[in-house]
Chains A and B, each alone.
Chain A
């Protein structure tokens, strides 16, 4: 959890306390809706643009609490990333060894004149590169821009991978025995 998450949690918690507290005060009779006067009003102002004035303190507390809860819920909502459907047909001698790598391009930036990099990027996918690779074949690639990303569909078309090099003979002298137990090739990559 980040500091922002903790702040959101505190905001939501304060909102719940305010809502429940105002209801509790009303229930106990500490504050009453009937005793409201035009002189004693609770006013909340935000940046001189939004101003809420109420002659009923309980309602004002309730609204502030509800706003806190709603704001926390709204800000904690995960950003929706639209999926991109890839469609195409690949022809290769050994389809089991074909690997499709997809990389997303976010944006490009430049360093300052003194070499420092100070930039803020918005992580929005602007370009998707699909590379189709197979052993002994030259890789094929397709690039998709914002138009295809927005449509949610990327048509790869027909891709033919020509066998350029045949598989070399497996020579035992090329394979040094491992003295320790090594994770299999299918093991998740820890670095790159």
Chain B
């Protein structure tokens, strides 16, 4: 009986550990945004939105038009990727975030 109890506790602990490791998977998402003249666009507000996880903290493109999100929870469903000029929506598309590093395709506006 004691052996069974110990086994059950061990199984529960392993299951908990497994759940913890899968739920803690975070990805780095990055990419660049350029004009039609192929010039990087700085200062654009970039955001990732997910129906379950919610909206990311807004990130702004740097002088090279580059943006980086550091801790994006990996999800089986795609994220909505939005680009704003101030508060004006310029771009929206869906992308899957899986794996430790995700490089989104070059966006030309």
Is B76 at the interface (CB under 8 A from chain A)?
Answer: no
Residues of A within 8 Å of B92, CB to CB, are: 174-176, 178
How many chain-A residues does the 8 Å CB contact rule pick out? 31
Is A165 at the interface (CB under 8 A from chain B)?
Answer: yes
- Whether A185 contacts B87 by the Cβ 8 Å rule is yes
Residues of B within 8 Å of A135, CB to CB, are: 41-45, 85-86
Give A97 to B45 CA distance when docked, in angstroms: 10
Interface SS of chain B? strand
Residues of A within 8 Å of B80, CB to CB, are: 176, 178, 182
- Whether B55 contacts A97 by the Cβ 8 Å rule is no
Is A96 at the interface (CB under 8 A from chain B)?
Answer: yes
- Closest residue of chain B to A166 (Cβ to Cβ) is B35
Residues of B within 8 Å of A191, CB to CB, are: 53-54, 56-57, 69, 71-73
Q: Could you give, for residues 28-72 of chain B, a 1 whenever the CB lies within 8 Å of some chain A CB and a 0 otherwise?
A: 000000011001011111010101011111111011000001111
- Whether A137 contacts B42 by the Cβ 8 Å rule is yes
Residues of A within 8 Å of B71, CB to CB, are: 191-192
Q: Could you give, for residues 111-141 of chain A, a 1 whenever the CB lies within 8 Å of some chain B CB and a 0 otherwise?
A: 0000000000000000000000111111100
Give A96 to B85 CA distance when docked, in angstroms: 11
Give A176 to B81 CA distance when docked, in angstroms: 10
Is A87 at the interface (CB under 8 A from chain B)?
Answer: no
- Whether A192 contacts B62 by the Cβ 8 Å rule is no
- Whether A139 contacts B41 by the Cβ 8 Å rule is no
- Whether B53 contacts A168 by the Cβ 8 Å rule is no
Is A167 at the interface (CB under 8 A from chain B)?
Answer: yes
Residues of B within 8 Å of A180, CB to CB, are: 51
Is B93 at the interface (CB under 8 A from chain A)?
Answer: yes
Is B109 at the interface (CB under 8 A from chain A)?
Answer: yes
- Whether A139 contacts B63 by the Cβ 8 Å rule is yes
- Whether A168 contacts B55 by the Cβ 8 Å rule is no
* Partner of B56 from A170, A175, A190 at Cβ < 8 Å: A190
- Whether A168 contacts B49 by the Cβ 8 Å rule is no
Residues of A within 8 Å of B35, CB to CB, are: 165, 168
Residues of B within 8 Å of A96, CB to CB, are: 86
Q: Sort A-B residue pairs by CB-CB distance and give the 10 closest, nearest first.
A: A189-B57, A97-B86, A190-B54, A192-B57, A168-B109, A135-B43, A180-B51, A135-B85, A175-B92, A174-B91
Interface residues of A (CB under 8 A from B): 94, 96-97, 99, 101, 133-139, 164-165, 167-168, 170, 174-176, 178, 180, 182-183, 185, 187-192
